Amino acid sequence: MIRLLRPLTRAVTYTRWLHLLVGGLVVLAVATVHGVEDATARDWVVITLLPVPLMAAVALVPAMRRAEGLQARLMLFPGAHAREARSGDEGADGEGPGISVAPSASWRDRGRTAVWLVVRLELGWGLGVASVQLIGYALALLGTTSEAPDDDGLFLPRPTSAAWNALLLPLPLLVLSVLVVAAGGLAAAAARSLLGPSPTERLAALEERTEQLLERNRIARELHDSIGHALTVAVVQAGAARAAADADFTDRALEAIEETGRDALEDLERVLRVLREDAEPAHRRPTLAAADRLLESARTVGAEVDAEVSGPVDELPGPVSREGYRMLQEALTNVLRHAGPVPVRVRVTVSGGALTLDVRNALPRQAAPAGRGGSGLRGIRERAVLLGGRASTGPEDGEWRVHAELPLR
């Protein structure tokens, strides 16, 4: 019994009831104009069907779909106060009740909106009539009306015995409760089906979600590359300064740590602006034109960097140059983190319609690393694939090699 009565404790039951009753007022207005005195069954059929063409015409207005969608979200699927959490209420973006609030963009949308308006109209009118009849019957059983049974407008006959009146009193209220809950559930299901996102809207939402995930992934890589590089340089510099016990070397190490930390803070500030949707233009992100900064930071920690840059690096397309910078940064970071200040050979070549990055360093004394590497090396390969190129990382001929080829078009 408690389970059956639980819907009556939810606010959503009554907001759905009200939403349907408001939709049925159109038929009531038609009935008032047409007249209901001595109306026959044929007259009631005409009254019920007369507003249907009007609803179909109204649905042709694109904004009507948006208006009905907003009303359905508010009344059929209200917020937490309704205490109704159900699976399947999510929309195309994974949130909300799955009701579109966009104007009609096609004739199919207009047709679905027209069907929804008719469903709401007829369902609301039927529920309104049932509500009036059942509430009136309950009041008649209580004896609150002095009208004769033939004049009270009720369809159901009343028992003549007062004892039977008392026994039958809960029945109309129970029937009304069942009708209200059932009609509300039917309206919610119809709204999801008829006012739900169209295939075009679902595809647009999916594309937007994909772009958001790609942007988050890019931001994570930016943080990993920039902050990881700065911390690696700082740790190596601090360790070398402590081991050297030389005042001049310590001063140079602290200066390098300060400069690297400042660069990392600038990168962090830029990424935070992206997260605040106040993103810095893409053309202002670091490019391979600033590769000397990376090479110099590696040299300051004691690494012997043999660098050679050939070709028109300054003329590289923006995306290729920016991603190439991050790939070079991660490659140098990987060297310093795992091998320390060892000799490094860097080759950056622009020729034949492609950018080639090649970074080699001696393997550390311990066993050569196995597997496909961590997230940084995986990020190099993923960056290359996104640009239509390819990259490989791993030991080769006694050295650790990072090799990437990026097409310029």
> Residue 375 above 70 pLDDT?
no
Residue found by looking up tokens 């008719």 in the block: 118
> Residue 102 above 60 pLDDT?
yes
> Residue 342 above 50 pLDDT?
yes
> CA 236 to CA 232: how far, in whole Å?
6
- In three-state secondary structure terms, 184 is helix
**Given this model, what pLDDT does residue 18 score?**
94
Q: How does residue 92 score in pLDDT terms, banded at 50, 70 and 90?
A: very low
Closest CA to 156 of 171, 178, 174, 166: 171
231 or 159, which is more confident? Answer: 231
* Identity of the amino acid at 182: A
Determine what percent of the chain is predicted with pLDDT higher than 70. 76
**pLDDT tens by residue, 188-227:** 999 999 998 877 777 766 766 776 677 677 677 767 776 7
Mean pLDDT, residues 255-278: 67
Phi-psi map region of 94: left, alpha, beta (phi>0 left; psi -120 to 50 alpha) = left
In sequence order, which residues have a C-beta less than 8 Å from that of residue 234 and are 6 or more positions away? 257, 260, 261
Q: How many CB atoms lie within 10 A of CB 319?
A: 15
Q: How does residue 161 score in pLDDT terms, banded at 50, 70 and 90?
A: low
Mean pLDDT, residues 92-108: 72
**Given this model, what pLDDT does residue 146 score?**
52
* Lowest mean per-residue pLDDT among 41-45, 229-233, 359-363, 392-396: 229-233
> Residue 334 above 70 pLDDT?
yes
**Given this model, what pLDDT does residue 158 score?**
64
Ranges 95-104, 109-118, 168-177, 323-332, most confident: 109-118
> CA 164 to CA 256: how far, in whole Å?
96
Residue found by looking up tokens 């606010």 in the block: 11
**Given this model, what pLDDT does residue 94 score?**
41
- CB-neighbour burial class of residue 370 (10 A; exposed 0-12, middle 13-18, buried 19+): exposed
**Given this model, what pLDDT does residue 120 score?**
94
Predicted model pTM? 0.51
In sequence order, which residues have a C-beta less than 8 Å from that of residue 272 and are 6 or more positions away? none
